[in-house]
Amino acid sequence: MTTAHELRSEPREYTWRREIGAGATTFLTMAYIVVVNPAILSASGMPRTDVFFATCLSAAVATIVMGLWARYPFALAPGMGLNAFFAFTVCGQLEIPWPTALAAVLVSGTVFLVLSLVGLREKIISAIPRSLVCAIAAGIGLFIAFIGLQHAGVVVRHPETMITLGDLTDPATMIAVAGLLLTAGLLAARVPGAILIGIAVTTTIAIVAGASPPPDGVVALPSLPTETLGAAIPALADLIRPEIILVVFTMLFLDLFDTMGTLVALGYTTGHITRDGVLPRAGRAFAADAIGTITGALLGTSTVTTYIESASGVVAGGKTGRTALVTAGLFLLTLFFFPLVGAVPAIATAPALIVVGALMFSGAADINWKDPVIAIPALGTILTMTATYNISNGLGIGFILFVVTHLASRRFRDIKVTAYVIAAAFIAFFAFGAGV
């Protein structure tokens, strides 16, 4: 772990050059959210321009808190999956108006902030067994690599086998594969800024080859929210309904374990997780996503969470909160340079996700695969994250299997009381959540 003394002793020019490149890398791998989030939330009736503004500003605020206060190189933004739950389940299936849904996000963010400040979320993260910490890191690595393969067109849907090999002769897929080979080669050669170079070169090739449209401009003045700004405040009175209380609880549960799993994986990758499973300043890191969620709810977007794509910046050399500050600055600039950022296609960021996933999967090497008591929960965690496209599901299956295998082998001392509580909570959530 890098100490404050070591940071001060590093050559300032080198440190900032490295952190700027890392922050830009993180931003480019998650910049899709500024396009995708408005598209998803617009299904609830929310104006896209309002959601775009809320997405950029809430991401910037949360990431600044992460960089300045928690001092980690992690970035935050409205979470994928959480936004789909907001738009399609809460507003779609349950037919709850989007202002009321924003009010539910505001309440969940406020509760999270209180839990973070009193240290409860920090205690939960310290209850994760070391073997599951390694499995979470490996599982998220496999997860984001799989996402990268999808974005590249290497893996596609299939009606019978669910997934299959894509058309490798498709021009877009060929460009993504070429970008992967380039990025992997640059990383193997230990070229500084390898991932960022890979994204830039792949984007250029995609535009020149006609596989991706060129930017339709460079600068555009941002539009302030006109409908969503503050809409959650008057809607708070609508929350005293059983179905809304369930929505708030579900938001709390999903965000808690999604963020916890991501922070554990990123902390393991950066070396900040101690041998005792403790993530220093975890309370501050949790508070960052709570503050971002509150900000987002007031502006007009769904729950903000820590992004697994932050690992790309870590691999690119980001070690301190400076990386997060650079990423936050780029989110603010996106308010003005959206046409330029929007020109980076998914096939250009796909290689970055694949190589970062491969590097994160190294956590699997620290798991004792010869011991079924350890191996079964670990494999359950890794596979479930990718197979269900959800970090929380993998964490839940891992905890349940961990308790079951340890009870069966009578290793009672290896199970903390918190682990029993978390496993029981996930059992209840899976049983009850199946009907949500």
Work out the burial of residue 434: count CB atoms within 10 Å of its CB; fewer than 13 is exposed, 13-18 middle, 19 or more buried. Answer: exposed
Query: What confidence score (pLDDT) does residue 120 get?
Result: 77
Q: Walk along the chain (436 residues) and give the pLDDT tens digit of each residue.
A: 333 333 333 344 447 788 999 999 899 888 878 877 887 888 899 988 899 999 999 999 999 999 999 999 999 999 877 887 788 778 887 789 999 999 999 999 999 999 888 877 777 766 778 788 788 878 878 887 888 899 899 999 998 888 999 999 999 999 999 999 999 999 888 776 677 788 889 999 999 999 988 887 778 788 788 899 999 999 998 888 776 777 787 788 777 777 877 888 888 877 777 766 678 888 899 999 999 999 999 999 999 999 988 988 888 888 899 999 999 999 999 998 877 766 778 898 888 888 878 877 877 888 999 999 999 999 999 999 888 877 778 888 998 999 999 999 999 888 888 788 888 988 988 887 644 4
Cα 364 to Cα 391: distance, rounded to the nearest angstrom: 16
Whole-number pLDDT of residue 202: 93
Residue 376: partners with Cβ closer than 8 Å, 6 or more residues away: 401, 405
**What is the CB-side half-sphere exposure of residue 252 using CA atoms within 13 A?**
20
**Residue 133: partners with Cβ closer than 8 Å, 6 or more residues away:** 264, 268, 273, 277, 363
Domain ranges of the chain: 4-433
pLDDT recorded at residue 436: 43
Contact 57, 336 (CB under 8 A): no
Residue 69 phi/psi, 5-degree rounding, is -95, -50
In whole angstroms, what is the distance from residue 167 CA to residue 172 CA? 10
**pLDDT value at position 342?**
67
